[in-house]
Chains A and B, each alone.
Chain A
Amino acid sequence: MSQIELRGNFHEELNIVSDTIVTLAAHVTEAIPRATEALINNDLELAQEVISHDDELDLLSLQIEERCYALIALQQPMAIDMRSIVTAMKINGEYERSGDLAVNICKGVRRIYGISLSPTLRGLVTSMGEEAVRLTRVSVDAYAEGSEGLAAALPDMDDRLDDLQADFIQEIFAAHSRGELKLEETVQLALVARFYERIGDHAVNIGDRVMYMVTGESTESAGAARARAAQEGDEAE
């Protein structure tokens, strides 16, 4: 049977949504190494650029959201179309938050201006930044390609970032006890490490959403699984 596209305009609109998501993700992917660079080089100007540029990301994110609302209201999307729109709306928020976290790192740069990081800490920050970028990039590749495989790889990749964060925090506590870092600096650096770690978590969430888009199955978190088991136990009684 010949394939005749019946809802060309609608599907064109859907493509615009996913293209815009990819654009947003690309901006975020660029913001992260810039934040890392600002942190390592004590570069306040660069930090300010990242902070200012985030307004554009927020606008992009708002536009994606509004376009999705319009498509739902006007087109009654079904099946893959419905799943694509829901996924776009969900991951839109995840990328927007990751962009905010890059901003938060840059604000941390301002607060600890002037400190010099030990080579070990620099190395760990660089690695955390690289992992956060890699996770974000793989998440957007998974989305753009509709790839279950790439989405499934994200949780394992995120474990590495989590380990780096743990190492980093251990290292700053040690530096603090050696008197190399003040308490405020130690706290700020711990927060910065947490910001990188959160970027990884958002990428993992995006992977879950891509899984849903591709397979139609929602990922059940460990907590949700426990609550479901508890509820089913109650019902059985």
Chain B
Amino acid sequence: MVRLLPSKERLSKGSRVSAEELAADVAVDAVASEQTAPTDAIIDDDMPESDLVFNVSDLSVYYGDFRAVRDVNMAIRPKEITALIGPSGCGKSTVLRSFNRMNDLIPTARVEGTLLYRGVDLYDERVDPVEVRRRIGMVFQKPNPFPKSIYDNVAYGPRVAGQKKGLDDVVESSLKKAALWDEVKDRLNESAIGMSGGQQQRLSIARAIAGDPEVLLMDEPCSALDPIATARIEELMAELKDEYTILIVTHNMQQAARVSDRTAFYSVEVDEKSDRRTGILVEYTNTEKLFSNPDDERTENYITGRFG
């Protein structure tokens, strides 16, 4: 149970506060406020709510009048990999993007419900979305290196944030964590465009890490890669789990089964009258359980290919 709003003092200044600052407030105030946050998120063992990275309650995402996904409840634990799977149009990418407010960039998009990050409502109007995206980094489907040197790609985020000293260290440690350093250390000033697809994707991960995030969101990070490059990224994810909380959207069920600790299966609900399609979260549980003995028949049908 945490307080959702910043302190009165800060409110009166009317200034924007970062999620980090909010989280600091929250830590102080956590004991005092037991009554606010919703508790109906899916928590299937005993982790106290205060230790959760995200707690999503009754989240619905709209694009204009169109409700893309409805009533999502999910608790995300620290230093775990959570996979989001499901057929096209089930809302899994929409949900992933809502975790770092990437949907804000779509003018008609809005959310209902609450999405708490470390106890802070991410969609509180006082939260700075830029700070949110620094804390919660994202890796996209296609590697998207900037047409700059490898070094400048990784240093980009810290530079934008105003960092001038110690960039060499940030670049080196980020590339090491992304398992790319040994391959590129002698050509840091060469263009990133010349790298292979798998290297470019690991560069994208290094770039996300350079901002010192807590969470990495990955939207089908391997769909443009060959099996070997895919295996490298999967290995990398297992290593990154020691430091980061990872959410991954993937179309590859075997990938979800291989890499994740927990899996959320989303599906599409069709309104017969209006033919409107809405994404729903069907089942969210341990990955081993979901792929060996799911509770919901819709999950079973999907993962065994009995419906499409």
Contact = CB atoms under 8 A, between A and B. Distances in A.
Interface string A23-59: 0000000000000000000000000000000000000
A212 to B, nearest CB: 9
B257 interface: yes
Given A76-B254, A78-B253, A3 B292 contact: no
B300 A6 contact: no
A78 B270 contact: no
B304 A79 contact: yes
Size category, A interface: 10 to 19
26 contacts: A1-B270, A1-B307, A4-B307, A4-B308, A6-B305, A6-B307, A7-B304, A7-B305, A7-B306, A11-B305, A11-B306, A76-B254, A78-B253, A78-B257, A78-B292, A78-B304, A79-B292, A79-B294, A79-B300, A79-B303, A79-B304, A80-B300, A83-B293, A216-B292, A216-B293, A217-B293
A113 interface: no
Interface string A106-120: 000000000000000
A96 B270 CA distance: 49
The 10 closest A-B pairs by CB, nearest first: A216-B293, A7-B305, A6-B305, A6-B308, A78-B303, A4-B308, A81-B304, A78-B291, A79-B300, A3-B307
Given A3-B307, A80-B300, A216-B293, 12 more contacts: A3-B301, A5-B305, A6-B305, A7-B304, A7-B305, A11-B305, A11-B306, A79-B291, A79-B293, A79-B300, A79-B304, A217-B293
A121 interface: no
Nearest to B294: A79
Most A-side CB within 10 Å, residue of B270, B291, B303, B305: B305
Contacts of A80: 300, 304
Interface of B: 253-254, 257, 268, 270, 291-294, 299-301, 303-308
Contacts of B306: 3, 5-7, 11
Most A-side CB within 10 Å, residue of B253, B299, B301: B301
Contacts of A81: 304
A69 interface: no
Interface of A: 1, 3-7, 10-11, 76-83, 215-217
A5 B301 CA distance: 9
A82 B292 contact: yes
Nearest to A212: B293
A82 B293 CA distance: 9
Contacts of A217: 293
A112 to B, nearest CB: 48
Nearest to A75: B305
A5 B291 CA distance: 19
Contacts of B308: 4, 6
Contact of A10 (B270, B293, B301, B305): B305
Nearest to A76: B254
Most B-side CB within 10 Å, residue of A1, A76, A216: A1
B204 to A, nearest CB: 28
Nearest to A217: B293
Contacts of A78: 253, 257, 291-292, 303-304
Most B-side CB within 10 Å, residue of A4, A79, A82, A83: A79
A80 B307 CA distance: 14
A86 B254 CA distance: 18
A76 B257 CA distance: 11
Contacts of B301: 3
Contacts of A77: 304
A7 B307 CA distance: 9
A11 B293 CA distance: 18
